[in-house]
Amino acid sequence: MGSYKRKAKQGHRTENRRPGAPPLTRQAPEIEPPREPIAAWMHVVAVLAILGVCVLAYGNNLRGKLVMDDRGILADNEHIRSLTNVPHLFRLNWWAMTPVKGAGAVYRPLAATSYAVDVFLMNGYSANREATDPGSGGLDVRVLHASSIAYHALASCFVYLLLLNLPGLTGRIFAAGWAALLFAAHPVHVEAVSSHVGRAEVLSGLFFFVATATFLYGNRARDCLGWAVGAAMVWLAALLAKEMAVTLPVALVLLEVFQGKKRTFAQWLAIYSPFVVAGIAYALLRHWALTGGALGGSSYEALPLSSVSYVERLFTMTHAFAWYWVLLLAPAWLSADYSGFPVTRSMGAPAFLLSVLVVGVTLAVAAFGLRVRRQGGRKWLGVAAIGILAVYLLLFPISNLLLNTGVVVSERGLYIPSIGLVIAAAAALDQG
């Protein structure tokens, strides 16, 4: 016992040695002042700023009315008038709730449930009915708008958490905060947040970002599988809000591959098996509710890209992808209706040539960033490259390259894919 104490004392003592000679024992490192309280306050400020920007940007929506498809999905929808109908909503085609019958087999029961919750809140809220939109079917539109703003604010906060846990940006509060503010205030989200039909995008995006942040945080925790199970359950909720979230597992796998994640095949299988189970559960629910109906059936015959060849569809969507980049980088020309978007039928069309240039430049920048990152260069270029590629991957469900969705360009369809731009912006702000 005495020798142990003597050794312990020697561990805190250094002897006088000749100049330049190494010490006999290692000196105790200097203790830095704790930073957790400062970081916690910075998180609070960031979250409050995000919430404040959402309220400032969309607060005037409370004076808005039902427009376009909102009337059919809300004012004329008797299925959302009571919470007792919620189980029925999970057995119902999205379009069966509206006067637009047979417009495709679409399954979004969670978005429909959110409308029923809003109606329940209206019934318990003594609002002045004179301020209600006369064409709203007796609904208090202010409650609907307030809910959409709240969902968008939550989604923006989880974008902040996602960025804080993203490899290459982990813990970068400054970059994550400003990039999350960009997401909260980006003009391209106006349609998704302001139109009530866009509620499906916002809800799906909210759960998409929650699932991603959960999975990324779990990758740094000991119980990776437990966090993966939680992320998969939230992903299922995202799918039940809208099909746009279907690309999440692929995005997570590619992100880990780009980051050089090392796992055995059994480990990969274990981590992603919850997503397989969630995907199967969603497919079974959808099949049960829609009796096997598939998107892109005969009801889409009259919609855009139905009467053109696949090559012409590819040309047109190249133009559409270029326009998506314009909307993300210079959102000065916004529209809620792109039904007149031109079909590109020739490789020599000026619009197609310019679109090829835009798409080519973005992909070239992404390839350059990944190459620099692989060679041990600036990490932020690699993260920015991942953000650029994420835009393309997350747009795939509405790319019309696999199925004719009936939509060529949709601004609300950028709600989830815009996270790619946000990631690239955060990487540029950090430049680590």
Helices 109-123, 141-165: axis angle to 10 degrees equals 130
Q: What is the mean pLDDT of residues 340-352?
A: 82
Task: Give the pLDDT score at 29.
Answer: 40
Residues in contact with 175: Cβ distance below 8 Å, sequence separation at least 6, in sequence order? 163, 169, 426, 427, 429, 430
pLDDT in tens, 101-141: 555 678 889 998 998 888 888 775 544 444 455 555 567 78
pTM of the model: 0.84
Task: Give the pLDDT score at 182.
Answer: 95
The residue ranges of every structural domain in the chain are 38-430
pLDDT in tens, 187-230: 999 999 988 888 899 999 999 999 999 999 888 776 788 889 99
Closest to 391 measured CA to CA, from 359, 349, 426: 359
Q: What is the mean pLDDT of residues 345-369?
A: 90
Task: Give the pLDDT score at 275.
Answer: 95
- 91 vs 189, residue with greater confidence: 189
Closest to 192 measured CA to CA, from 203, 182, 202: 202
Per-residue pLDDT band at 18 (split at 50, 70, 90): low
Residues in contact with 309: Cβ distance below 8 Å, sequence separation at least 6, in sequence order? none
Backbone phi, psi, residue 319, to 5°: -60, -40
Is the model's pLDDT at 360 over the cut of 70? Answer: yes
Helices 310-329, 379-395: axis angle to 10 degrees equals 130
Neighbours of 172 (CB within 10 A): 21
Helix residue spans in 11-66 (DSSP H) = 36-58
* Tokens describing residue 349: 């069309």
- 374 vs 7, residue with greater confidence: 374
Residues in contact with 127: Cβ distance below 8 Å, sequence separation at least 6, in sequence order? 140, 142, 143
Q: CA angle, corner 205, sides to 368 and 334, nearest 5?
A: 75
Is the model's pLDDT at 32 over the cut of 90? Answer: no
8 A C-beta contact, residue 235 and residue 214: no
Q: Which residue has tokens 């539109």? A: 141
Backbone CA torsion sign across 419, 160, 155, 240: positive
